Amino acid sequence: MNKDFRCQGFEVDVIRWETSLDAMSVTRSQDEYNEGVRKSDIFVSLFKTKTGIYTEEEFDVAHTAFKDSGKPLIYTYFMQAHGPYDMRMQGDLNSLWDFQKKLKDLGHYPTHCTSIEDLKFQFQQQLDKLIEEDKV
């Protein structure tokens, strides 16, 4: 989509921890990821069957930055998960439900999606709204 976005005067640079260097950091590597979150215009988090501790930390960093400066805009997407579930997943599922309660307590309504295609479609609609409202 960046080709189309460039014609509209902006570009999307996706920052993912999976594409970062694996070399040791002077601080925690997570601190460097968190700095990337603070500098972002948009923060997207994806969930399926659990909320990882670092994902929640990144959300908290994004939320604090958003409260301080209005950026990044925060989007949370929950992918519909299909069982079978068993007791081994209890901790993972509890972390997901605890995080969903946290979002509710913050007054944030996450987006639910049923597939990768649905996720792409819903996020594209959000980008279109941002472009339409001249927020990017």
Q: Residue 18 pLDDT > 80, yes or no?
A: no
Structure tokens at 43: 């923060």
What does the pLDDT average to over 125-129?
A: 92
Percent of the chain with pLDDT over 90: 64
pLDDT score of 98: 97
Question: 7-15, long-range: CB within 8 Å, 24+ apart, which pairs?
Answer: 8/131, 10/136, 15/40
Q: Does domain 14-132 have CATH number 2.60.40?
A: no
Residue ranges covered by each domain of the chain? 14-132
Nearest to 63 by CA among 47, 40, 94: 40
Q: What is the pLDDT of residue 131?
A: 87
pTM for the structure as a whole:
0.86
How many angstroms separate the Cα of 68 from the Cα of each of 42, 63, 64, 118?
15, 9, 6, 32
Structure tokens that stand for 111 in this block: 């987006």
Mean per-residue pLDDT for 109-135? 92
**Per-residue pLDDT for 108 more than 70?**
yes
Residue carrying the six token digits 């959300």: 59
| pLDDT tops 90 at residue 54 | yes
